[in-house]
Amino acid sequence: MTKENKQQPEYEVEIPSREELLGAVEARLKPITFDEILERFQLTDERQHIGVKRRLRAMERDGQLIYTKANAYGLPTRMNLIKGRIIGHRDGFGFCRPDDGGDDLFIPPKQMYSVLHGDIVLVQEQGKDPKGRREGRIVRVIESREMSVVGRFFVDHDLGIVVPDDSRLNQDILIPDEARNGARHGQIVVAKITRRPNRRTSPVGEVTEILGDHMAPGMEIEIAIREHDIPTEWSAATIEYVDKLAEEVPKEAYKDRKDLRELPLLTIDGEDSRDFDDAVYAEPEGDGWRLWVAIADVSYYVRPNTPLDKDALERGNSVYFPNFVVPMLPEKLSNGLCSLNPDVDRLCMVAEMKISNRGKLLDASFYPAVMKSHARMTYTKVAAILEGEPKLRQEYEAVLTPIENLHSLFKVLKKARQGRSAIEFETLETRFIFNAQRKIESIEPVRRNVAHTIIEECMIMANVATARLIEKHEEAGALFRVHEPPSSERLTNFRGFLAELGLNLKGGDDPSTRDYSEVLEQVRERPDAELIQTMLLRSMQQAVYTPDNAGHFGLALDEYSHFTSPIRRYPDLVLHRAIKALLKEQQGPNQALEGAWMYPDEQLDELGEHCSMTERRADDATRQVDEWLKCEYMQDHVGEEFTGVIASVTNFGLFIRLDDLHIDGLVHVSNLDNDYYHFDNERHLLIGENSRRVYRLGDKVRVKVRSVNLDERKIDLKLLAAESPTGKDRMSGSADLAEKRPEKRPDKSSAPKSKRQQKREKAGKVKAKRAKVEQKRKAKKQRSKKN
């Protein structure tokens, strides 16, 4: 899996590892030559010379070493070089995001001429720019971005050009006549860059694919898939393997599996779901509950290191667009053999859990099984049944008791969730309603009901149980789903935002989930509650996959993993394999546990990074499509007026979230009243220099749609009126700021009470656990160096 492991089979003789080569360079006071490396490791075989040269080139490519003008290898850190990824900007400048963290380096426009957004580069810091930002000079491109670009083809004075759809690629690509390949003016195409740009010339390319006309239905998805490099093709070997699979579960797969076909397991999903990877059943037991969570046994069909496994890993997860899915697995598996369809035998992995009447997980066992779903239920139907809808209760009379048992268990689990003060967001998603021509007719809110939360709590319990299993048996390594507390910078910004609204986040430098939950509870009935929740979400760190357990802050859980969706998430598949490997070790090698696999630590590190990347890639792609579709919808509403709320304040204007539609548009600062406006970053407001008019986060507004730019996915708005959430007109100045500025209140939580002491003790335990995780990481690095 690792680059080192990929390269190892190429060498017929033993050569130094990357760690050993780095050690040799670090031990020198100056860069080391190739001959000195050969002498240092006493390499005399010509095959060793070739192998070491290849490895050194790979280390150059990855930015671990620099080949100097003196024909020697040195360390980038000793040359004050920073490795990072170029982030382009539509205005011509850019940034370098360092691989090892830290603030981005500003890259001026002249430096950006010879690089492209997405390039991996080495940058030398050059002090500060006029705005106080770290500025960098590009020393070398060590890895070029994917050379294919999606854009719109234009012909201007017989000159063909492709204007990239991604605004971060601000250089047009020249297309010679012989490289147009039939592209017509205005079409969306894929162009391959054949000559990179430099300081004097633009990039040159050729059209490799014509996607279609600019406004063709589904074009926004085609563009997003290619811009974000989402794999859509299966390898020939995968297609051959899937074609040979039978439509039914093979009889040999039943061996050594528990038979749960009589257990009334149910699937509960959305109306438009086609792949069902989880089924649940619960019943009271003593003074508590027993819960079965059966998950599709994808690992039986997707074996490690097979072509299908490699294709699934490359995708990392399924990507869900409006009315379209790029699946992680071929449809024959995702919607067929692996999907827990009703009234057919299916293979599954089961987490059977004992839960107390206080919602505490007491015990859990895991085993492979064969099951038969007794009903395919939807969230809407289950909610209606629980509300007493007579027709549905009659239609599903056979499964009424299992549904009501799940509801009763849910009440217990919800109370436990509230007891640990997990952060509960009341999110509102939207859904596009298309007509026959795939044009948007309306945008409707999608509201969660009790059935959503029933399944959510059952899945959380199964994820906790599996995480505890892996935490207990470190030898069966897998990936945890880790959500760390907010960074100090984000925490400071969020506190500043709350202060402007007269609110306070307790907890000092280390607030707990209880402190955040208290804020949400305080604002639940406020008109700006959704905005405050959005800002709270922005203050959080992004959850990631990692083999080092650091807990899940948002859910207030010490252990958490992803076990419940192996059809659409690769980390879940990794966890299933690890559990099987552990069971095989415990029960003996003769146990039929196909798909069992133990991953080495270094492979898990890379898997975690890769799966976190593919998740972000999917989020970015779906967000891009949503923005495009919303702009397309708003094209028919230019000139119309809407109410909304100020969702974001920047130095260049106000982003307005339109009520009901949940679409964001921009009121540019130049379109505000005839005045000079100054941006206050700490208090998230714009204030007029002469009029003293103030615009803040949360202000209610009335706007008019001025224009829509579909290419740039921008909605331009004109502000007609604004008022504060309390209904006061925003025409006030410094006096208003003083009036609205909250008084400093003493933090009651700092009083020396026993609860406070308990809280501090818990925080200390959390810190100790993080320190333990860091020690494990360091120990792992030391072991890998020794090996």
Residue 334 near residue 328, CB atoms below 8 Å:
yes
Q: Which of 62, 219, 312, 223 is nearest to 620 (CA)?
A: 223
Rounded alpha-carbon distances, angstroms, from residue 549 to 81, 143, 479, 657, 733: 32, 32, 8, 37, 50
Residue 388 near residue 450, CB atoms below 8 Å:
no
- DSSP class per residue in 719-749: EEEEE-TTS-BS---HHHHHHHSPPP---GG
Helix/strand/coil percent split, the chain, to 5: 35, 25, 35
Query: Across the 787 residues of the chain, what is the mean pLDDT of every consecutive 10-residue run?
Result: 40 80 86 90 88 88 78 80 89 89 87 90 85 86 84 91 90 94 94 89 93 89 93 96 94 93 96 91 96 97 96 97 94 96 96 97 97 96 96 95 97 94 81 87 88 96 97 89 90 85 88 92 83 85 93 94 97 97 85 86 92 96 94 94 91 91 92 87 84 88 94 92 63 37 39 49 58 64 56
Q: How far apart are CA 334 and CA 370, in angstroms?
A: 17
Task: Please name the amino acid found at residue 486.
Answer: P
Rounded alpha-carbon distances, angstroms, from residue 496 to 493, 499, 500, 536, 684: 5, 5, 7, 12, 8
Instruction: Quickly tell me which residue has 């333990």 as its tokens.
Output: 772
Q: How far apart are CA 455 and CA 568, in angstroms?
A: 17
Tokens of 687: 């204030």
Instruction: Quickly tell me which residue has 């760690």 as its tokens.
Output: 19
Q: Which of 612, 1, 611 is nearest to 316 (CA)?
A: 611
- What H or E segment, with its residue span, contains residue 678? strand 677-680
pTM of the model: 0.81
Residues with Cβ within 8 Å of 435's Cβ and at least 6 positions away in sequence, in order, are 441
Residue 371 near residue 340, CB atoms below 8 Å:
yes
Strand-pair partners of 687? 678, 694
Q: How far apart are CA 383 and CA 373, in angstroms?
A: 19
The length of the chain is 787
Residue 468 near residue 453, CB atoms below 8 Å:
no
Q: What does DSSP assign to residue 43? A: -
Q: What is the pLDDT of residue 785?
A: 53
SS (H, E, C) 563-587: CCCCCCEHHHHHHHHHHHHHHHHHH
Helix (H, G, I), strand (E, B) or coil at 216: coil
Tokens of 367: 């085993």
Q: How far apart are CA 21 and CA 15, in angstroms?
A: 10
Tokens of 445: 């809110």
Strand-pair partners of 563? none
Region for residue 291 given its phi and psi (left: phi exceeds 0; alpha: psi -120 to 50; beta: otherwise) = beta
Helices (H), 80-216: 109-112
